[in-house]
Amino acid sequence: MENAKLILSGKEYELPMFSGTEDERAIDIRKLRDMTGAITYDPGYGNTGSCRSAITFIDGDKGILRYRGYPIEELAGSIRYSAAAYLMVYGRLPTEPEFLDWRKQLTLNSFVHASQVNFFDNFSALAHPMNILGSMISSMSAFYPHDAEDESDIDLHIQRLIGQVKTIAAFSYRKSVGLPYIYPRTDHSYAANFLRMMFATPAEEYVVPKVMENALDMLLILHMDHEQNCSTSTVRMVASSMSNIYASVSAGINALWGRLHGGANEAVLNMLKTIADDGGNVAKYVDLAKRKDNPFKLMGFGHRVYKNFDPRSKILKTAVDDVLNEMGIHDPLLDVAKSLEEVALKDDFFIARKLYPNVDFYSGILYRALGIPTEMFTVLFAIGRMPGWIAHWLEMRADPDLRIQRPRQIYIGEKMRHFEQMNLY
């Protein structure tokens, strides 16, 4: 086994090293503090491996993303979201009979508890859909209290979460616009059911356009997992305390809500609207983004992991053109986006910093084409990400190295001082 050598205060220490299946190398520092009295300092954990995982592989330098070994380019647009969800959770693609039964079980377990439906009447009219989603998912452990702590039927928990997250999302939208709730059907796919629950009316039959169903399938798959990002690592941290699956996933939803994480696609769309309203003057906003004294930022460019094109953005760029053409939609924001990408990718400022379009850059335009309201964009992200969170929850609970997560810190406060008697009682 290869070791790394650390020299600290003239003393040499050896730390074991190991590699993953894709030759990612890691230095095992679990005994560092005991050996040296020192800890590592890594704000944001950008260089810290918190776990070993067999779920998703990313090579940010080469623009590679794989789920359970399958390249994202082979999955998105080739299989249904529910099949990809099975792969994510169980580590393999289902057989055809398994897929049909799985899809049926997701529908049968997508009905929100009747008493829980009453919650929708008590949220403020100003409540953000992500706030509602996180609260409703968290409350599921109150409606299934015994089941939540009994993991012997974990498949039921999984089916409830994946099934009900889309129902809660659709119901929250219908409530916000004063429409009656529409319930799912077993003869519809996962994506088709969601679109039907969003946009159908009880007065007439609603046929989900195939182009919309296929586009949503692809979007949900693209958002399904992305390694140890903020929301996924939040799910794992909460799970490390042995919290139930509903509480852990709810924490992930709240982390995803942040504008630097799941809210980024909404921010991209608002940015594109600002540029379009200013006559589409892309060059002006590219120049503003380069100025340190100006608060304007180009949203949708650059990624914490990818130093090359985000492979998801490549898929989306092609899909947006195809979907909008098939639906007969001309969106001026797409024209702005293409112009912005073209200008930015020729600019030395962006080239030097490797700021390429990411998944958020085009996803908002596609959601918009499907009729999804802007405030629901992050909710769609959460629906897609649900199987990924579940897979990480399962993996962590089965990890023989499981310990409650407890990062260290470097204290920079006051040194010891003594209390002087004052009349503060």
DSSP secondary structure letter of residue 416: P
Beta strand extents in 286-371 (DSSP E only): none
Q: What's the pTM? A: 0.92
CB 258 within 8 A of CB 354: no
Quote the CA–CA distance of 158 and 179 in Å, as a whole number.
29
Supply the pLDDT for residue 146. 63
Residue 140 clears pLDDT 90, i.e. is over it = yes
Output the CA torsion sign for 359, 364, 369, 370.
Answer: positive
- 191/223 Cα distance (integer angstroms): 14
The residue among 158, 137, 140 whose CA lies nearest residue 90 is: 158
Instruction: Give the HSE-up count for residue 242: Cα atoms under 13 Å, Cβ half-sphere.
Output: 5
Percent of the chain with pLDDT over 90: 69
| Cα atoms found within 13 Å of the Cα of residue 42, Cβ hemisphere only | 10
Catalytic residue from among 226, 303, 310, 392:
303
pLDDT confidence tier of residue 306, bands split at 50, 70 and 90: confident
Distances (CA, A) of 62 to 110, 125, 248, 312, 350: 39, 45, 32, 13, 18
Per-residue pLDDT, 149 = 62
Average pLDDT over residues 241-256: 95
On whether the CB atoms of residues 117 and 171 are closer than 8 A, the answer is yes
Residue 330 catalytic?
no
Domain residue ranges in the chain: 3-41
CA distances from 319 to 85, 210, 222, 325 (A): 21, 14, 12, 10
- For 11-25, 143-157, 188-202, 410-424, which range has the lowest pLDDT when averaged over its residues? 143-157
Q: Is 360 a catalytic residue?
A: yes
Burial zone of 30 (CB within 10 Å; 0-12 exposed, 13-18 middle, 19+ buried) = exposed
Task: Please determine, for residue 148, whether its predicted confidence score (pLDDT) is greater than 70.
Answer: no
DSSP alpha helix (H) spans, 177-244? 190-199, 210-222, 230-239
CB 228 within 8 A of CB 50: yes
Residue 84's H or E segment, with its range, is helix 81-90
Would you say 306 and 358 are in contact if contact means Cβ atoms under 8 Å apart?
yes
Sign of CA dihedral 303, 305, 308, 310: negative
Q: Hunting for tokens 């055809």 — which residue is that?
A: 96
Strands 56-59 and 64-67: antiparallel
Residue 259 sits at the vertex; the CA angle it makes with 254 and 260, to the nearest 5 degrees, is: 100
Question: Computed from CA positions of residues 414, 415, 418, 420, in that sequence, does the dihedral angle turn out positive or negative?
Answer: negative
Q: Are 133 and 168 in contact (CB under 8 A)?
A: yes
Q: Which of 193, 148, 188, 186 is nearest to 169 (CA)?
A: 193
Mean pLDDT, all residues of the chain:
92
User: Given this model, what pLDDT does residue 403 score?
Assistant: 92
pLDDT, residue 408, reads 92
- End-to-end Cα spacing for the chain: 61
pLDDT above 90 (res 1):
no
- Kindly name the residue from 360, 392, 399, 401 that is annotated as catalytic: 360
Whole-angstrom distance, CA of residue 13 vs CA of residue 3: 10
Residue 147 reports pLDDT greater than 60: no
Q: Say if residues 46 and 303 touch (Cβ distance below 8 Å).
A: no
What strands lie across the sheet with 56-59, from one edge to the other? 56-59, 64-67, 70-71
